[in-house]
Amino acid sequence: MTETDRFRVIFVCTGNICRSPMAEAVLRDIATAHGLGDRVLSSSAGTGDWHVGERADARTLDALTRRGYDGSQHRARQFTYDSFAENDLVIALDRTHERSLRQWARDESEEGKVSLLLSFDHSARELDVFDPYYADARTFDEVLSVIEGAVHALFRQLEPALRAAPLSGEAGRRRSV
């Protein structure tokens, strides 16, 4: 299966060094654990360019490692207009990102790809994943727990479509999930 045959999900936060790399790693791990790692391409980006090319924040990497996820290959990048075409689902980590992404969308199709991560987790009390950047390591662990719950909920919605008939090119990627 080629990269373009996979269902492509991109998680978007501010600088792409804290929350979105966590979500990217969690989805990749969940898909692999369910035997669907070859069906999903999980990536992440930031709305800003402050950290482009940098590794994830050390506290992010530490939190991921403590839970058994690998974020070591992550390098921050910025979300671009091309990111809409390159992905099937664009997941914002908070409402600020969601608003920005919807404003950047050039048409209804692109805007329709945008969802808020915590909207998938019906037990979530908030809609925004807290930004731990100015907080301590414990807060990164707490944020990762929130992200894990929401990404598990997202995966439960994606899984039936991923297990259905093989994805094949544009038509396979575009079926609704």
Catalytic residue among 5, 55, 67, 131: 131
Task: Tell me the pLDDT tens digit for each residue of 10-51.
Answer: 999 999 999 999 999 999 999 999 999 999 999 999 999 999
Task: Tell me the pLDDT tens digit for each residue of 88-109.
Answer: 999 999 999 999 999 999 999 9
Question: Could you give all domains of the chain from N- to C-terminal order, each with its CATH number?
Answer: 3-164 (3.40.50.2300)
Amino acid at 96: T
Catalytic residue among 13, 29, 88, 121: 13
With bands split at pLDDT 50, 70 and 90, how would you rate the model's confidence at 164? Answer: confident
Q: Does 18 qualify as catalytic in the annotation?
A: no
3-state helix, strand, coil in the chain (%, to 5): 50, 10, 40
Q: Does 13 qualify as catalytic in the annotation?
A: yes
Catalytic residue among 6, 19, 28, 59: 19
- Check: pTM over 0.85? Answer yes or no: yes
Conformation bin of residue 6: beta by default, left when phi > 0, alpha when psi is -120 to 50: beta
Half-sphere exposure of 61 (CA within 13 A, CB side): 12
